[in-house]
């Protein structure tokens, strides 16, 4: 038996073991109520301004409704080795304006702290989006004592090198490491406060999910199986190498089904979804064609992120959209959401979770066919809007 055949056999065995193991994990999660998470239920887990900054700010605020004074702030200062800030006299602001934006100053800081001596801490909070052009440099020009750039993985701000970061005293911190460690300390401090403790626990589960950690992570039993022999480890690496191929295969099926839906509705269809930024699949009615518009589903970022849908111009150079207001009004009414506008997309919205940024949940929905079904429903509604406004 050659090496490739041996690896394939062990890969199949490992997949079967993993499937059994995952059923066990899911059973435990149901038994413990771990899947009940208010952030997931309300589909607000990816909002920087509406979810993450307010929650972090509330914990950091000595006057927060948790009633623990500066306790959680002290834990934060300890974790980030900040010795010159007085937690007892701290004030906190969310989305604090620092003046009109120009080349060197201005903007709104996500989380700002200042103590009685005037020592300042600024936190720029990013979940999926990147910093704006010159944003960190503008904040540094306010001369904060401490500036933190917070992302899921500790990503560096755009247009800044390691030497820039050292020189400008901007420190990159992560949800996956720094914030999770701090939150777990906060939970310990809140051990005797059930409401506070359990809310922090649910937020911890959200961060673990966003950073691929936590209960869904492989436990010792599965890890032991993976590293049990050289063959099982080879099989594990072989499976990991197929992730991209699996995504492409699943996406090919989704593209095919969407083209079938177009044919069933007598729509012209072109393009296909892929992992690339701005990949799209578009649909055209005769009325939309006369107005230079198409219905589209598209990824606005690489790696299956920022999935959007709406009405897009057939030619980006086209000026304006005379029917934009009517389209938006009917779109908002028919699809139950408030549409946005951009130069090439007169009417568009982000797809709701878990489809804005595709993770495990989204791919499972692709496999089951439920995503194709939901996109078909959206397509049907947008066709209705198009036929009403652009007959």
Distance CA 161, CA 159 (A): 7
Instruction: Find out whether 222 and 19 touch, Cβ atoms under 8 Å.
Output: no
Identify the pLDDT of residue 181. Answer: 95
How many C-beta atoms surround the C-beta of residue 316 within 10 A? 9
Phi, psi of 146 (to 5 degrees): -145, 130
**Cα distances (Å, whole numbers) of residue 62 to 66, 78, 87, 114, 197:** 9, 15, 8, 12, 17
d(CA 314, CA 294): 6
Q: Round to whole Å and give the CA distance between 351 and 292.
A: 23
Structure tokens at 107: 């903007």
Q: What is the DSSP pairing of strand 120-125 with strand 146-151?
A: parallel
Q: What is the mean pLDDT of residues 310-319?
A: 89
Whether the CA torsion 201, 206, 212, 216 is positive or negative: it is positive
- What is the crossing angle of helices 243-264 and 360-368, to 10°? 50
DSSP string, 190-203: TTT-HHHHHHHHHH
For residue 273, give the nearest of 385, 375, 128 by alpha carbon: 375
Q: What is the mean pLDDT of residues 258-286?
A: 95
Q: What is the pLDDT of residue 103?
A: 73
pLDDT of the residue at 121: 95
Q: Are 310 and 318 in contact, with CB atoms under 8 Å apart?
A: no
- Mapped onto helix, strand or coil, the DSSP state of residue 391 is coil
Q: Global pTM?
A: 0.62
What is the structure's pLDDT at 29? 59
pLDDT digits (tens, 9 = 90+) for 317-337: 878 899 999 999 999 999 988
Read off the pLDDT band of 353 (50, 70, 90).
confident
- Nearest alpha-carbon partner for 330 in 283, 262, 383: 383
Provide the pLDDT for residue 134.
Answer: 73
How far apart (Å, rounded) are the C-alpha atoms in residues 305 and 66? 34
DSSP element (H, E) containing 71: helix 71-79
> Which DSSP string corresponds to 338-378?
--B--SS-SEEEEPPTTTTTT-HHHHHHHHHTHHHHHHHHH
**Confidence at residue 32, expressed as pLDDT on a 0 to 100 scale:** 60
pLDDT at 86: 96
Residues 181-197 have a mean pLDDT of 94
Check if the beta carbon of residue 295 is closer than 8 Å to that of residue 283. yes
pLDDT value, residue 101:
78
Q: Which of 341, 329, 319, 321 is nearest to 388 (CA)?
A: 329
Least confident of 29-33, 89-93, 239-243, 358-362: 29-33
pLDDT at 161 over 80: no
pLDDT in tens, 1-37: 455 666 677 667 767 766 776 676 566 556 666 667 7
Return d(Cα 161, Cα 144) in angstroms, integer.
20
Are the C-beta atoms of residues 119 and 84 closer than 8 Å to each other? yes
Task: Give CA–CA dist 281/271, Å, rounded.
Answer: 4
- What are the pLDDT digits (tens) for 278-306? 999 999 999 999 999 999 999 998 889 88
Which of the given ranges, 103-112, 201-210, 324-333, has the highest pLDDT on average?
Answer: 324-333
């Amino acid at each position: 038996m050659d090496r490739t055949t041996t690896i394939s056999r062990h890969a199949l065995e490992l997949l079967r073991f993993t499937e059994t193991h995952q059923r066990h994990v899911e059973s435990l999660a149901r038994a413990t109520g771990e899947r009940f998470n208010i952030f997931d239920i309300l589909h607000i887990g990816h909002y920087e301004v509406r979810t993450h900054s307010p929650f972090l700010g509330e914990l950091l605020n000595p006057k927060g409704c948790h009633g623990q004074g500066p306790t959680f702030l002290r834990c934060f200062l300890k974790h980030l080795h900040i010795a010159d800030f007085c937690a007892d006299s701290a004030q906190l602001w969310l989305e604090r304006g620092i003046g009109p934006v120009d080349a060197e100053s201005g903007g709104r800081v996500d989380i700002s702290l200042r103590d009685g001596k005037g020592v300042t801490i600024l936190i720029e909070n990013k979940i999926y989006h990147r910093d704006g052009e010159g944003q960190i440099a503008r904040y540094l020009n306010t001369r904060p004592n401490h500036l933190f750039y917070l992302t899921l993985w500790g990503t560096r701000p755009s247009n800044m090198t390691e030497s820039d970061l050292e020189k400008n005293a901007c420190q990159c911190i992560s949800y996956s490491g720094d914030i999770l460690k701090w939150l777990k300390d906060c939970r310990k401090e809140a051990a005797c406060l059930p409401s506070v403790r359990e809310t922090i626990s649910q937020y911890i589960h959200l961060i673990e999910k966003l950073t691929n950690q936590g209960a869904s992570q492989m436990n010792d039993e599965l890890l032991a199986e993976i590293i049990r022999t050289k063959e099982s480890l080879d099989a594990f690496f072989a499976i990991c190498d197929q992730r991209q191929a699996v995504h492409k295969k699943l996406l090919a099926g989704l593209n095919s089904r969407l083209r079938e839906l177009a044919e069933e509705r007598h729509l012209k269809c072109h393009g296909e979804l892929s992992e690339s930024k701005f990949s799209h699949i578009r649909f055209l009615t005769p009325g939309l064609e006369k107005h230079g518009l198409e219905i589209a589903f598209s990824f606005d970022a690489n790696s299956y992120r920022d999935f959007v849908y709406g009405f897009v111009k057939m030619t980006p150079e086209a000026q304006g959209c005379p029917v934009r207001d009517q389209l938006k009004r009917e779109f908002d009414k028919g699809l139950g959401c408030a549409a946005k506008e951009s130069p090439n997309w007169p009417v568009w919205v982000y797809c709701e979770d878990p489809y804005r940024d595709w993770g495990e949940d989204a791919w499972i929905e692709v496999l089951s066919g439920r995503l194709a079904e939901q996109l078909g429903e959206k397509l049907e509604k947008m066709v209705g809007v198009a036929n009403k406004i652009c007959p």
